[in-house]
Amino acid sequence: MKTLKTILLSLFIAASMGAVSTSALAETDAGRITYKPADAIDMVTAQIQLAIDGISKGASGDEAAALIKPAIDLSKEINANDKVDNARAKANRKLKAAISHAKESALQEAEQELRGAKKDFEALKSLI
């Protein structure tokens, strides 16, 4: 009887874990748009290019920071695997450095950081 109780308890625990699995229930929220990793990378690089163009056309430091911020927000949509996520985090650090340079009105350094970040984001496609 004791063995039967142990077996039934084990089966019950295994069944309940399978029934309430988070990966089995994973889906996007209603109204939320999800992007393929390659599409998200393209959107981020396009936003970075907009920021580079804005700086080259003479945007002020605050305007440049405002142009860079959407690129950081869009980069959160890049979701493929751990290797891609680590490389994305490295490229994000360059974007954050570009924002801090832009806020300090060091636009030349901000532009260099943006160019490096753009190369890093474009390199993410090879990791997908």
CATH number at residue 99: 1.20.120
- Sequence-distant (6+) residues with CB within 8 A of 111 are 52, 55, 56, 98
Which residues have C-beta within 8 Å of that of residue 40, sequence separation ≥ 6? 74, 75, 77, 78, 79
- The answer to whether residue 14 sits within a structural domain is no
Q: What gap in Å lies between CA 127 and CA 37, rounded to an integer?
A: 10
- Is 22 a domain residue? no
* Structural domain includes residue 69: yes
Q: Name the residue range of residue 57's domain.
A: 36-127
103-128 pLDDT tens trace: 998 999 999 999 999 999 999 888 88
Q: How many domains does the chain have?
A: 1
Q: Is the model's pTM score more than 0.95?
A: no
User: For residue 3, is it within any domain?
Assistant: no
* Res. 29: pLDDT tops 70: no
pLDDT tens-place string over residues 63-103: 999 999 999 999 888 887 889 889 999 999 999 999 999 99
109 within some domain: yes
Question: Could you tell me if residue 27 is inside a domain?
Answer: no
